[in-house]
Amino acid sequence: MAAGDDNIACATLVTGALKISSIDAEGQEQILSVIHPAGFVGEMFAPIAHHNVIALTDSRLCLFTRSDYESAVARFPALAAALLRRSSEELLEARTLLDLKGRRSAKAKVAGLLSAFAKSASTSSCHSADSFMLPLSRSDMASVLGLTIETVSRQLTGLEKSGLIRREGARGIIIRNAPGLDDLTNG
Amino acid sequence: MAAGDDNIACATLVTGALKISSIDAEGQEQILSVIHPAGFVGEMFAPIAHHNVIALTDSRLCLFTRSDYESAVARFPALAAALLRRSSEELLEARTLLDLKGRRSAKAKVAGLLSAFAKSASTSSCHSADSFMLPLSRSDMASVLGLTIETVSRQLTGLEKSGLIRREGARGIIIRNAPGLDDLTNG
DNA sequence: CGTTTCGTTGAGTAGAATCAAGCCAAGTGG
DNA sequence: CCACTTGGCTTGATTCTACTCAACGAAACG
């Protein structure tokens, strides 16, 4: 989906990963959200799309049109409640990202992003994973945080040198000191 | 409402204005959203509140508890659909803010915020107002954009010197060159 | 009249962006 | 098999923006 398109379809993500982004006049991409399975994309109430939706990996979607939606809600009132719940979760996630992006230093932003990934990489909802693969490239991480890829790279090596994380290849992350990461995030 | 509270109530705003914010370990406030009349606050599906809600002006709210919500949805299925619509709008607004906060330069951020205010100050949904009162203090603007009050102040005087806007007192803004502002926002 | 709050302005500095190489792994083609 | 390319990542040197610290002006208030 591209910004400016007639907005005819919405979808829930079945497998894979998507990003929602906007692109400014100079071609700078801003990632506004990363969608995981069971997440929802599309603007149900806008005539044209505001943002771009791009697959990060091969993905499977369950598409439906807005007219589908309206008839389905009429037949199954519980559907609206379920979608409301999803939408509330997306909203909370967007605000979490806002919070992250507002951190003062680059180190705090990168540390916060790692903590967030550790949480979402865990199967349990209350614990964080202590090792995981970064779902985003350096370029995408930079775009999420509003930094450059060089700065992201430097912060990662900095975090490794200070012993808070260890890296396995370009994408593998092992958290060695989770509380320390959180301290950096909030400071 | 304060982050960490038991999350027992939600509300729609009738008159006034609210801000949703988070506060980090150093006491730095991040404004995550500004709520206007007809807007919704509260996290319907979280046991404890993640963020703070603070009134920007004297405000009137229509409060309801989460159990109220559940019985109301059971009796009036259309309610869920209406709340879904609101929630979608909040989500779009949060993403617009994300976009703004991700702009590279301070000038682009301030210019973008002014454009956004000009839009929401207009009574018509398709035109922007050409003069309006800033709804936020310098401190709140800085917090929304992730800047300091000094930087916001300097950017405003810069925009005035370059002829894009004129100021009337501390809060009054007159847009003299709206396309120019948009160019700055996307550049 | 002092005090407080809010906004503006200036000087100096820390930190991220920019510019520029260079490394490594994977792919391509002779 | 080897030269070459490509894309993603890292590192270094330099520049410049926005933060910090500090002073000052204006309006509101007791």
Facing residue for A80 by CB, picked from B22, B32, B84: B84
- Judged against a pLDDT cut of 80, whether residue A26 lies above it is answered with no
pLDDT recorded at residue B69:
84
Number of domains chain A contains: 2
Which uninterrupted H or E stretch holds B144?
Answer: helix B138-145
pLDDT recorded at residue A24:
80
Are A169 and A131 within one domain? yes
pLDDT recorded at residue A131:
92
Are B143 and B92 within one domain? no
Are B22 and B83 within one domain? yes
Contacts of A77 in chain B (CB under 8 A): 77, 80
The residue among B95, B101, B105, B125 with the most chain A CBs within 10 A of its CB, best to mutate, is B95
- Judged against a pLDDT cut of 80, whether residue B125 lies above it is answered with no
Q: How many beta-carbon pairs below 8 A join chains A and B?
A: 108
Domain CATH for A43: 2.60.120.10
Residue A135 CA to D6 C1' — how many Å? 22
Are A158 and A84 within one domain? no
Are B128 and B76 within one domain? no
Are B88 and B111 within one domain? no
Domain CATH for B148: 1.10.10.10
CA of A174 vs chain B CAs: smallest distance (Å): 25
Facing residue for A77 by CB, picked from B80, B103, B104: B80
Are B47 and B82 within one domain? yes
Does residue B1 belong to any structural domain of this protein?
Answer: no
Does residue B134 belong to any structural domain of this protein?
Answer: yes
- Judged against a pLDDT cut of 90, whether residue A33 lies above it is answered with yes
Residue A136 CA to C26 C1' — how many Å? 19
Average pLDDT over residues A157-178: 94
3-class secondary structure, B42:
coil
pLDDT recorded at residue A8:
78
Look at A141-145, B41-45, B144-148 and tell me which has the smallest mean pLDDT: B41-45
Are A89 and A130 within one domain? no
The residue among A35, A51, A87, A89 with the most chain B CBs within 10 A of its CB, best to mutate, is A87
Does residue B4 belong to any structural domain of this protein?
Answer: no
- Judged against a pLDDT cut of 90, whether residue B26 lies above it is answered with no
How many other CB atoms sit within 10 Å of the CB of residue B66?
16
Does residue A1 belong to any structural domain of this protein?
Answer: no
Last-in-domain residue among B61, B76, B99: B99
A153 touches strand C (CB under 7 A): no
Contacts of A24 in chain B (CB under 8 A): 103, 186-187
Last-in-domain residue among B78, B99, B120: B99
Last-in-domain residue among A81, A100, A119: A100
Average pLDDT over residues A101-108: 93
Categorize the per-residue pLDDT at A36 as very low, low, confident or very high, splitting at 50, 70 and 90.
confident
Are A142 and A96 within one domain? no
A167 touches strand D (CB under 7 A): yes
Categorize the per-residue pLDDT at B4 as very low, low, confident or very high, splitting at 50, 70 and 90.
confident
pLDDT recorded at residue B120:
86
For residue A106, what are the contacts with CB-CB under 8 A and spacing of at least 6? A145, A147, A151, A152, A154, A155
Average pLDDT over residues B141-156: 97
B105 touches strand C (CB under 7 A): no
Residue B53, domain extent: 9-99
- Judged against a pLDDT cut of 90, whether residue B74 lies above it is answered with no
Average pLDDT over residues B167-175: 95
Which uninterrupted H or E stretch holds A165?
Answer: strand A165-168
CB contact under 8 A, B30 and A99: yes
Distance (Å, whole) CA A171 – CA B132: 49
pLDDT recorded at residue A143:
94
Categorize the per-residue pLDDT at B9 as very low, low, confident or very high, splitting at 50, 70 and 90.
confident
Are A17 and A89 within one domain? yes
Does residue A94 belong to any structural domain of this protein?
Answer: yes
- Which range in A26-30, A167-171, B3-7, B64-68 is most confidently predicted, on average pLDDT? A167-171
Contacts of B146 in chain A (CB under 8 A): 101-102
Contacts of A187 in chain B (CB under 8 A): 24-26
Q: Are A135 and A117 in contact (CB under 8 A)?
A: yes
Pairing outcome for strands B60-65 and B9-15? antiparallel
pLDDT recorded at residue B187:
72
Does residue A2 belong to any structural domain of this protein?
Answer: no
- Summarised one tens digit per residue, pLDDT across range B77-92 is 888 889 999 999 999 9
Q: Percent of chain B beyond pLDDT 90?
A: 64
Are A76 and A132 within one domain? no
Average pLDDT over residues A84-113: 94
